[in-house]
Every structure is written in C-alpha cells, then in structure tokens.
C-alpha cells in the first residue's frame, strides 16, 4: 500500500440538520430562515424544492447509520437544529429524544458523533430579533449551547460551535444568496463579529463543564488565495482577500485576535463593528482545541482591473478581482475549480503560522448533476468522485508526512442531500437518494471508500 494513514485516522462524512432531517414542520420543530424563505420565495430554489422533506433522516436514521457502518465510517458529523430543539425557546422533548437516539445509535455502531451547533440555520424567531446583528441573539445562542452540552455532553466528545460562519455573512449580508438578503458591508461585519463573540461564549461555557477527553472547535471553509502573479499589486490583492475571507475567522478562532491589517482597513473605511469592552478578553481567553477544515476550491485573485466606483457601497471586492486561471480544472456542475494541492497548502499554513493546531478535513466533495446517467449494473459509477477523493487524500498524506497535525477526512456527504438554493441539483453522497421513494443506493465510491477506511489507506 502506497498511502498508509496513521492509526485511528477519522474516516467518515458530514452533513447538517436542515439538509437531511426533513420533518421540517413536524414533531414540534419551529421554522428556521430556510423554511420561511422558501415559503416566501420558492422560485429562488432549484426546481422549487424546499427544506420540508429533504432526505428524511428524522425517520430513517437507524437504517442510515447502518449504511454508514457498512462503508467503514468511524466518525460522522451532524448538526443540531436550534429551531427543533428549542422552538419558542422551550426544550422540545421529541427533539431531545431524536438527538439522543441518533447519538446513541452512532456510538453503539462504533461511529463517533461530531456535533455542530449551528449550520446556516438561524431560527426564524431569532432572525426576527435581528439575527446576529443583535447581541441578544448571542445570549440566546449561549443558552442553546448550554442546553446542548447539558443534554449530550456526557457522550459527545467533539463539539463545533459553527460551520462556515462566513457563509451566512456573505450570503445574508453581502451577496444575496441567504436570507435576509441584505447587501450592507457594515452590517455584514457586525454579523461576523457577533458570530465570533457567540463562538467564544460557547467555548467559555463548555470549559466550565470540564468534560473528560472532550474537545471543542469550529469548522471553517478555508479558501486559499492564490495571486495571479508575483507582481506586488497581485500579491496585495491576494493578501487582502485572505484577510477578509480566511483570517477574519481563523485568527480569532486560533489566536483570539483579529489581524491588525484587517482592523486598519475596516477602520479606514468606517466599517468597524460595535463592540463591548470585555470582548477582547473573552476572545483571547476562549480559543479552539480543534479546527475543522472545509475545502472545495481555491480563490484566485488579481489586482483590480479598474478603479472601484467611488459611489459604490463598500465591498471586500474593492481590493481585488477574481482571476480565472487559464487551464484550470473545473467541476462544471458546481462551477468550482478543482485544485487538489490547495488542501495541502492549507495544512502547511496551519502548521507554520497557526501553531500546527489539531485539525481534520471536515468537508471535501464533489457535487454532480444527473448522476443516473452513470448507472451501470445498478450502480452509479462515480469514478470522478473516487478520483476527486483519492487525489485530495494524496495531498493530505503528504502533509501528514511533513508533520501537519491533521487527524481525519470527512466527505461531504454521506447521502445525497438538499443543497440550499441548489436543492437537489448537484448530488454529493456516497449513497444516492431517489427522491420519490427516498431509497438509498450505494454508489461505486461507497464501496471504494469502505476499502480505504478498512485498510486505512490505499
Ligand atoms: C458547504 C456547506 C454545506 C454544503 C457544501 C456543498 O459550504 O457547509 O452545507 O452544502 O458546502 O455546497 P453546495 O451545497 O452549495 O453545493
């Protein structure tokens, strides 16, 4: 075997509540922003498919966990739905039972649950208070986190405060692909900042429980910025893109401090958020134990071609243009570049500049449209996905050989799930889901991954 991974390497996959559970208006669950937005603007969603049923995991978790076991999972990330657990702010016993059963079932099958508290799914009642713009919601999140730790902390050993916290900032407050569809950088900065305050408060609380052998962290979509050239103008563009889209969360998460250059830019342009005096201390004292890395694509940038319009609103894109590198390899269905070495560059950066913090690949994957085209002998022959995973794993393997502290690899995702605005357009799963019957069928990659997980390499 050429690529042998360390023993106890985490092999598994990741998902989120809204994307698989279904039962969106059943069993006492309240609305979150996705339920509400779909009601209001169904035409925004691919084929007008909303979050009501998604992949029905709420009812099929037992069978799905068996499937995970069959393909060699030793770990699996899910998220808790805040609006299911605390509709109207009160604990919903049915939700407690559901998450209890899922967690227990995973553990009974030798699969470690990694639990994330927030995956893009703001409860509507919290959004009505202003979402992350309002500090009260930070306190509400803290109460929610506290209840989760109390209920499940005796069994869950890996906790995550947020998944990709920058995405609701970009989607909801800059580029209009999440509710509440606001375009306003100053409000975006406030939302980002309060998210990190909520994150630090959850960590502070978590430490008080003193759980044995437990860790807490955050999951970030680290998108390395590559400059078009070594020209100082391109290098500057890439450095600033990195500040806005990676370091804005990575630095406070790992070091408890924001990069000074980011503060300078925001100050210069009048975009600084409102803060409280004790925030600095809070952030500094409550840093993560473990970092989840979601990696799909690089960000290639160049210096701006034209001067920004002086009357246009402030946007991070004032400082760089995106660059389409000639000859780049694309996943045309999702419109994302595939650049396998990016995963290695992230890990080396963490090793060299972030104290080699313990990490794992918490998402990586390939969404493809109309996969039934590739059925042969009853199985979707997703060799493209196998290649995608294998080529990324080779770079992860190299990073480990060079002392990077990376502990596992989770695919996005276990079974085809609902991808926000793209609904069921692109399929990512090891298992396909036939939407009219909800039937799960393993794809070729599922069989392949099983071997890798069992042999701990390939
Ligand atoms: C990540 C999210 C996931 C997932 C994935 C694939 O950003 O954490 O929730 O959806 O990307 O992206 P998409 O579903 O948009 O194709």
Given pLDDT bands bounded at 50, 70 and 90, which one contains residue 261? very high
CB-based burial label for 27 (10 Å; 0-12, 13-18, 19+): middle
Distance 417 CA to ligand 1 centre (A): 10
Closest Cα to atom 12 of ligand 1? 419
Query: Ligand 1: which atom is nearest the Cα of residue 164?
Result: 8
Beta carbons of 367 and 418 less than 8 angstroms apart: no
Distance 431 CA to ligand 1 centre (A): 17
Beta carbons of 418 and 24 less than 8 angstroms apart: no
Query: Ligand 1: which atom is nearest the Cα of residue 334?
Result: 16
Residue located via tokens 């998402």 = 363
72 Rama class: left (phi>0) / alpha (psi -120 to 50) / beta = left
Identify the helix (H) or strand (E) that includes residue 427: strand 426-427
| Interval 436-449: pLDDT, tens | 999 999 999 999 99
| Spatial CB neighbours of 41, under 8 Å, sequence gap ≥ 6 | none
* Mean pLDDT of the 20-32 span: 98
Tell me, what DSSP letter sits at residue 410? E
Query: Is residue 1 over pLDDT 90?
Result: no
From CA 168, how far away is CA 267, in angstroms rounded?
A: 23
Residue 309's SS3 state is coil
Catalytic positions, please? 164, 363
Residues with CB under 6 A from ligand 1: 16, 163-164, 167, 221, 294, 334, 363, 367, 412, 419-420, 422, 426
From CA 156, how far away is CA 78, in angstroms rounded?
A: 11
| Interval 143-178: pLDDT, tens | 999 999 999 999 999 999 999 999 999 999 999 999
Mutational pocket test of ligand 1: of 178, 294, 419, the residue with most ligand atoms within 8 Å of the beta carbon: 419
| Interval 37-56: pLDDT, tens | 999 999 999 999 999 999 99
Query: Is residue 406 over pLDDT 90?
Result: yes
From CA 333, how far away is CA 367, in angstroms rounded?
A: 7
Given pLDDT bands bounded at 50, 70 and 90, which one contains residue 34? very high
From CA 156, how far away is CA 130, in angstroms rounded?
A: 31
Distance 45 CA to ligand 1 centre (A): 14
From CA 114, how far away is CA 133, in angstroms rounded?
A: 28
Query: Ligand 1: which atom is nearest the Cα of residue 163?
Result: 8
Res 244: pLDDT? 98
Diameter of the chain measured on Cα atoms: 64
pTM of the full predicted structure?
A: 0.98
Distance 232 CA to ligand 1 centre (A): 33
* Mean pLDDT of the 361-380 span: 98
Given pLDDT bands bounded at 50, 70 and 90, which one contains residue 458? very high
Q: What's the full length of the chain, in residues?
A: 458
From CA 418, how far away is CA 16, in angstroms rounded?
A: 10
Q: What percent of the chain has pLDDT over 90?
A: 100
| Interval 303-331: pLDDT, tens | 999 999 999 999 999 999 999 999 999 99
Give the orientation angle of helix 135-152 with respect to helix 185-209, to 10 degrees: 30
How far CA 306 is from CA of 17, 211, 301, 318, in Å, comes to 42, 54, 14, 10
Distance 381 CA to ligand 1 centre (A): 22
Q: What percent of the chain has pLDDT over 70?
A: 100
- CB atoms closer than 10 angstroms to residue 156: 21
Closest Cα to atom 2 of ligand 1? 164
């Amino acid at each position: 075997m050429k690529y042998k991974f360390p023993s106890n390497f985490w092999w598994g996959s990741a998902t989120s509540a809204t994307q698989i559970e279904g039962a969106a208006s059943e069993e006492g669950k309240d609305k979150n922003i996705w339920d509400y937005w779909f009601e209001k603007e169904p035409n925004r969603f691919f084929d007008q498919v909303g979050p009501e049923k998604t992949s029905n995991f709420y009812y099929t978790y037992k069978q799905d966990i068996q499937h995970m076991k069959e393909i060699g999972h030793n770990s699996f990330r899910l998220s808790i739905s805040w609006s299911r657990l605390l509709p109207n702010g009160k604990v919903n016993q049915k939700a407690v039972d559901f998450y209890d059963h899922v967690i227990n079932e995973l553990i009974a099958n030798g699969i470690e649950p990694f639990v994330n508290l927030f995956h893009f799914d703001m409860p509507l009642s919290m959004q009505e208070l202003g979402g992350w713009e309002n500090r009260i919601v930070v306190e509400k999140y803290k109460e929610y986190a506290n209840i989760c730790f109390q209920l499940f902390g005796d069994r869950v050993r890996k906790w995550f405060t947020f998944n990709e916290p920058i995405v609701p900032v970009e989607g909801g407050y800059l580029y209009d692909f999440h509710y509440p569809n606001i375009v306003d950088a100053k409000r975006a900065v406030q939302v980002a900042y309060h998210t990190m305050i909520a994150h630090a408060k959850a960590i502070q609380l978590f430490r008080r429980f003193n759980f044995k052998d437990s860790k807490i962290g955050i999951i970030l979509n680290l998108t390395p910025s590559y400059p078009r050239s070594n020209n100082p103008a391109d290098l500057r563009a890439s450095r600033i893109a990195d500040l806005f889209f990676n370091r804005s969360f990575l630095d406070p998460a790992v070091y408890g401090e924001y990069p000074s250059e980011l503060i300078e830019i925001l100050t210069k342009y009048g975009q600084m958020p409102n803060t409280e005096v004790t925030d600095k201390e809070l952030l500094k004292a409550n840093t993560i134990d473990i970092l989840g890395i979601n990696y799909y694509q690089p960000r290639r940038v160049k210096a701006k071609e034209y001067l920004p319009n002086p009357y246009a609103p402030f946007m991070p894109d004032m400082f760089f243009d995106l660059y389409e590198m000639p000859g780049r390899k694309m996943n045309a269905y999702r419109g994302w570049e595939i650049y396998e070495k990016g995963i290695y560059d992230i890990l080396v950066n963490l090793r060299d500049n972030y104290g080699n913090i313990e990490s794992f690949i918490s998402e990586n994957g390939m969404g493809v449209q109309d996969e039934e085209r590739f059925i042969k002998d009853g199985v979707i022959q997703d060799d493209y996905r196998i290649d995608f995973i294998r080529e990324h794993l080779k770079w992860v393997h190299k990073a480990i050989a060079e002392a990077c502290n990376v502990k596992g690899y989770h695919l996005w995702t276990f079974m085809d799930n609902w991808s926000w605005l793209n609904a069921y357009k692109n399929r990512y799963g090891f298992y396909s889901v036939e939407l009219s019957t909800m039937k799960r069928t393993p794809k070729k990659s599922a069989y392949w991954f099983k071997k890798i997980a069992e042999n701990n390499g390939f």
